[in-house]
Structure 1
C-alpha cells in the first residue's frame, strides 16, 4: 500500500506507542491523538475531532472505556471520521467480547463494521505488558500481587504482537473485514506468570488470591473506582471459571509465525530495567 497518514488513538499506551513506532519505521505519517497534540484531540470535546482527522487516511481506534456512554461516543467518532475521508479503521477490542456482555464493546465494534470503509478488528487477551507498564507493575515491585483468578488459565499476549498485527492490517492486503482473536503461545495461570517474573528477577513475589467479590471490595477500599474494581473482578471470575483457557490463532494467521512467549517477554523486560 502507498504511504498513509494514520491517526493513532492511545498513542502513548501499551499498543498505541508500538503501532506508532512501527508505522513510522515503514515511512508512514503518524498523528498521535492526544490533548497535547497538534492538532489537539480530546474525547470529551467533539469539536476537536474534525481538525485531528483532517487529511487522515486511517485510524487506529482504541475505545476510551468499557461503559456504554463511551461506546456511543465512539460511534459518533466513527461517523465523523468517515465523513472526514478516513478510508480504513483498525480497532482494538477484547477477546471473547461477544460472549461477555459485561464488557459491551459490541456497540463500538458494530459502528466500525458498519462504517462503510475498510475495517479490521483485533480482539486480544490480557497483555504481557500489564505486568510492567500498567496494572501489576507496582505490586510486582512491592513483592505482593493481589489476584482473584485462582488457578484459571489465560493466554497472555505480547503488545508487540498486537502492534505488528495492527500494522499489517494498515499496510497489507487481505485483512479487510476480518476479526482476529489474538492470544499468546501458551496458557498460564496468573500465579505461574508471577512465578516466571520472580524467577527471572531472583526474588520472591507473593501472590494473594481472593474471591472476586472480596477482591473488588478490597481494591475499592484502596481507592480504585468501584465500577472499575467490579469490572476487573468479573474478568477474573471468567478466568477463574476456565472461560479464557483457550488459544487463538490470529497472530499466526496474520504474521505467519508463533506469538512471543511470556518467558521471552519477561527476559526482555528485565533486561530493559523493568521492576528495578
Structure 2
C-alpha cells in the first residue's frame, strides 16, 4: 500500500468521526459547521439554545456535548483573553480528555498574552491541540459590532492610524477544517492574517468603493468607545474591558502579516477588497 493511499484512508477515517463545534452559530463556528457538513462529517453544533446545548457560562452542558465526540473546535465566548478563560480552558480540556476527544482545534487571538495563558491551560490536558491565532476578522464589518457604523456611514473605533492585517473568516474556517480532518497539524500554532496591512481609514475607503456610499472612519479614545458601547446596552465593566483589549491589540505590535493561511491551505489568503466586494454583492449592507 502506498503512502498516498494510506494518507487518503486516514483522512477518510477522520471525516467519519463526530466533531463538536462549540459556539456553532457564531461567526467562525457556523462556517466550520457548514464546511464539515458539506464533507459528510458528523457534526454537533453546540450553542446555548440549539439542539446540542453548549454554554461556556454553564459547565454542566459541556459533558453531554463532548460525550462520543472524536474532535472539537473550541471558540470561547466572549474572548480567550477574557477573565475566567484560563480556568474554563483547563476544565474543558480535562473533560474533553476524559471523554476521549483526540483532536482539538482552538481559536485564539493574535498577540494576546492572556489568550496565550488560556492556550497553555488547554494544552495541560490536550497537549496536541492545534491553535489558530487570528487577526481581526474582515467580517466584523458585515456580521459584527461595526455593521451599524457601516450602514450609518461612520465607523468609530479606538484604533488611531494603526494598521491591521485583516483576515477573512472564511480562510480561518478552511484552516480549522483542515486541522480537524487532516493529519499533520497536531501541536501546531498557526497565526492567520490577510495578505496586507490596512488602517481603519483605508478599510472604510475600501468599503466606500464596494458599497458606492461614503463611509468614514472616526478615531475615538478608549474611554469614548467604552461609553459608546454602554449606550448600546453593554454593562460598563464589560465595555471598559473590551475597549482596553482593543487598545492593547491595536498598539502596533500586530502590524505585520504572516504565511499561516498558505502554510495550511497552500494558497494565499483572501484580500479585504475581495471580502468587501463579496459582502456588497450579497446585500450585507443594503440600506
Q: TM-score when scaled to structure 2?
A: 0.88
Residues 251, 257 of structure 1: 8 Å contact kept: yes
Cα drift, residue 236 of structure 1:
3.8
Q: Deviations over 1:171-226 (max 9, x none)?
A: 11111110111100100001111111111111112322122233323433553332
What is the deviation of 1:255? 0.7
The alignment status of 1:108 with 2:123, answered yes or no, reads: no
The whole-number CA distance in structure 1 between the counterparts of 2:280 and 2:177 is: 26
2:93–2:123 Cα contact (<8 Å) kept: no
1:245 corresponds to 2:229:
no
Give the equivalent residue in structure 2 for 1:88.
Answer: 103
For the pair 1:194 / 2:204, whether they are aligned, the reply is yes
Q: Deviations over 1:10-68 (max 9, x none)?
A: 11111111111111111110101123333432333333222211210001011123423
Query: Of residues 67, 70, 76 in structure 1, which corresponds to 2:82?
Result: 67
Aligned 8 A contact 1:149 1:239 in 2:
no
The CA distance in 2 between the partners of 1:116 and 1:264, in whole Å, is 36
Cα 1:11–1:151, aligned 2, differ >3 Å: closer, same or farther? same
The reply on whether 1:29 has 2:39 as its aligned counterpart is no
Map of 1:101 onto structure 2:
none
Instruction: Structure 1: give runs of 5+ residues left out of the alignment.
Output: 99-103
Paired residues of 1:10 and 1:33 also in contact (CA < 8 A): yes
Range moving further from structure 2, 210-219 or 150-159: 210-219
Residue 240 of structure 1 deviates from its aligned partner by: 5.1
Cα distance, 1:111 vs structure 2: 2.5
Give the Å deviation of 1:108: 2.3
Report the aligned-residue RMSD: 1.8
Q: Residue 145 of structure 2 corresponds to which residue in structure 1?
A: 135
- Aligned counterpart for 1:176 among listed residues 176, 186, 198: 186
Q: Does 1:255 align with 2:270?
A: no
Any stretches of 5+ residues in structure 2 without a counterpart?
A: 1-10
SS at match of 2:43: strand
1:55 aligns with 2:68: yes
Are residues 1:8 and 2:26 paired?
A: no
Q: Is the 8 A contact 1:165 1:251 kept in 2?
A: yes
Counterparts of 2:198 and 2:159 in 1: how far apart (Å)? 11
Aligned residues: 271
Match of 1:44 among 57, 65, 74: 57
Q: Is the 8 A contact 2:93 2:124 kept in 1?
A: no
Are the equivalent residues in 2 in contact too, given 1:150–1:209 (CA < 8 A)? yes
Three-state SS of the structure 2 residue aligned to 1:118 is coil
1:53 and 1:238 mapped to 2: Cα distance? 34
For residues 193 and 215 of structure 1, the distance between their equivalents in structure 2, rounded to whole angstroms, comes to 19
State the alpha-carbon separation in 1 of the partners of residues 138 and 279 from structure 2.
10
User: Which residue is 2:4 aligned to?
Assistant: none
Report if aligned partners of 1:184, 1:247 keep a CA contact under 8 Å in 2.
yes
1:77 to 92, 101, 110: 92
In 2, Cα distance between equivalents of 1:71 and 1:86: 19
